[in-house]
Amino acid sequence: MHLRFKKEWELPESAVTPESYYRKRREFLKTVGLGVAGWAFGGSSLFAATGGFPTKLNPNYPPGDLKVTPYEFITSYNNFYEFGLEKDEPKVNANKGWKSEPWTVEIAGEVRNPMKIDVNDLIAKVGGIEQRVYRHRCVEAWSMVVPWDGFPLAKLVALADPKAEAKFLRMTTFFDPKNVPGQRTDALDWPYVEGLRLDEANHELAFIATGIYGEPIPNQNGAPLRLVVPWKYGFKGVKSIVKFEFTTRQPRNTWNVMAPREYGFYANVNPTVAHPRWSQATERVIGAGFRAVRQDTLMFNGYEKQVAGLYAGLDLRKNY
Amino acid sequence: MPDSTSARITDAAPAAREVRGTSGPPVAGWLERIVRSKAVAVTALVLPGLWPAWPIVNQDPSVLADPGEYLLHHLGFVACVLLAVVLTFTPLRVLFPRWRAAVALNRHRRLVGVTVFVYAALHFVMYLIYEGGFGKLASDIGKPFILSGTVALGILFALTITSVDRAVRALGARRWKHLHRLVYLGAALAAYHQIDASKVFPLQVVWIFGPMLVLQGARIVKRFVRSDPAPPPRVPQIGSPKT
């Protein structure tokens, strides 16, 4: 059974009046530079995302003081080794005939409700999508702020209905070497695998993205489903997921297999634990141009208040 | 890498002069004329530095997302490529002594070597500006990634300030030669630095440094299989016209 306690920063449902929400939405649109486009859409929905699902900003995760990264940078500066090792390559190579629809997702392992399901049916089953503005911190010491559209991972967990033995969630990217150049090389151990502890997967911040800026998520960002765990380094955010498997043992995540000394299972953003080759104390802000902008990296990427409790008693230096 | 053949000549210009006098027709071929040209050499060395203007003018979002990082990596990349290239000059001349273009190439050895340092130094300045200055360097110097790059730069600096004729004279030929063999250590460190900069092994390191390694290997082999005894090492000629 999964109990959900309200956090002190959460607003009760009743506090969200239509009018105040409307104002927030206008603010948000202005912030992200889509103000004009926003006028075209009435009511509570912004844009269509994957499969035509309407999305709206979840008022618990507004941009606030964050400077949202422009859309073109989020979608042109990508680490997606399936489509090339350079940042500019995924945008080109992921849009050369590789198809992210139709897309079937498998839910398997220690669950009462295993299934193979079309991605749009899955989104309908979890109740549609919403928008959240999250910080994104790469292990390479750069960061963005991304307005993701999608649904909480906890909803998928609830749908799968894990058995008591299920302790971890293992997520796997597609494997399609015929259409995907990177998977014909041995740069990584394909297919890409990531994992979370079940309590991490059930945390309210853990999110499955299906869109960015209200648009369906582009192939190079991990269409049609990608994991977003904003308190962890970006490589935990496994892209283009085909399988969610509930396991009793801790999954072996790809980067941990590749270089165990450099990448752990947890990969929590932590400015006090350096990567063996570089410091993690600061980060370059994507889109800041030539102004030498480096900002301090925050513990758990600024989500310490929300997630620190997950790791009480855990040695974060050892469990990097 | 002791090698009596290269010990004969430490400066590029005399190399060209000596061999020109002993072999080949007096009229230079088209390739040799291009390779000999100072203007061509300077253009080839400056163009890679101007290359980043292209994506910036074109507003390439992949580059504009993090232009400082792009410049940092580009400058380091150019330094590595030119270092590998300049280290093919002597092996090419030793392996193909009658190929006049290879001989002509060695006129530019000092120029290319100094250019390597310039690009490496710009790469370092970019690091200081963009990654957090000397404080960051001091805190990260223990990491092999940062240490290898810093030591390689130090070696290039030492070789650059001793590349003027006066320094050759002051050091004496033998000591100068021993000092400048450090370039091989510098190249090894640069290759390591480049490998360590990536999360997975970057194949480009193979095509940057691979040909140079093959040529250097062939040069060593040639020296050992040569039937005639090696001539005694000669003192490098100094005060020669600058290339």
pLDDT in tens, A122-166: 999 999 999 999 999 999 999 999 999 999 999 999 999 999 999
Read off the pLDDT band of A49 (50, 70, 90): very low
Question: Which chain A residue shows the shortest CA-CA distance from B200?
Answer: A187
Average pLDDT over residues A80-104: 93
**Domain region containing A31:** 13-263+305-311
At residue A288, the pLDDT reads: 85
- What does the alpha-carbon distance between residue A176 and residue A190 come to, in Å, rounded to a whole number? 10
The residues that bridge with A175 in the sheet, in sequence order, are none
Q: Measured between beta carbons, which residues in chain A are less than 8 angstroms from residue B148?
A: none
CB of A244 closer than 8 Å to CB of A89: no
CA distances from residue B212 to A262, B86, B90, B205 in whole angstroms, order as listed: 31, 9, 10, 11
Return the axis-axis angle of helices B12-22 and B67-95, rounded to nearest 10°: 30
Task: Collect all residues of chain A within an 8 Å Cβ-Cβ radius of residue B195.
Answer: none
In a domain, A65, yes or no: yes
Instruction: Give the Cβ contact number of residue B97 at 10 Å.
Output: 15
The residue with greater pLDDT, B67 or A26, is B67
Domain-embedded: residue A317: no
Instruction: Calculate the average pLDDT of chain A.
Output: 87
So what's the pLDDT on residue B120? 98
* Three-class secondary structure of residue A178 per DSSP: coil
Provide, as residue numbers in chain A, all residues whose Cβ is less than 8 Å from the Cβ of B129.
292
Query: Do the Cβ atoms of A284 and B68 come within 8 Å?
Result: yes
Per-residue pLDDT of chain B in tens (243 residues, 90 and over written 9)? 444 444 444 444 444 444 444 444 556 688 888 988 999 999 999 999 999 999 988 889 999 999 989 999 999 999 999 999 999 999 999 999 989 899 999 999 999 999 999 999 999 999 998 888 898 899 889 999 999 999 999 999 999 999 999 999 999 989 999 999 999 999 999 999 999 988 888 889 999 999 999 999 999 999 888 655 555 555 555 555 444
Evaluate whether ipTM surpasses 0.90.
no
Q: Is the pLDDT of residue A45 over 50?
A: no
pLDDT tens digit sequence for A167-193: 999 999 999 999 999 999 988 999 999
Quick check: is A126 in a domain?
yes
For A185-222, what is each residue's pLDDT tens digit? 988 999 999 999 999 999 999 999 999 999 999 999 99
CB contact under 8 A, B145 and A277: yes
DSSP-assigned beta bridge partners for residue A284: A142, A294
Task: Give percent of chain A above pLDDT 70.
Answer: 83
The answer as to whether A276 is a domain residue is no
Q: Name every residue whose Cβ is closer than 8 Å to that of residue B167 and which is 6 or more positions away in sequence.
A: B161, B176
CATH number for the domain harbouring residue A142: 3.90.420.10
In a domain, A4, yes or no: no
Summarize the confidence of residues A292-313 as an average pLDDT. 93
The total number of structural domains that make up chain A: 1
Lowest pLDDT segment from A14-18, A53-57, B52-56, B162-166: A14-18
pLDDT score of A300: 98
Report the alpha-carbon distance of residue A51 to residue B106 in Å, rounded. 64
State whether residue A142 sits within 8 Å of chain B by CB. yes
Domain assignment of residue A214, yes or no: yes
Interface membership of B61 toward A (CB under 8 Å): yes
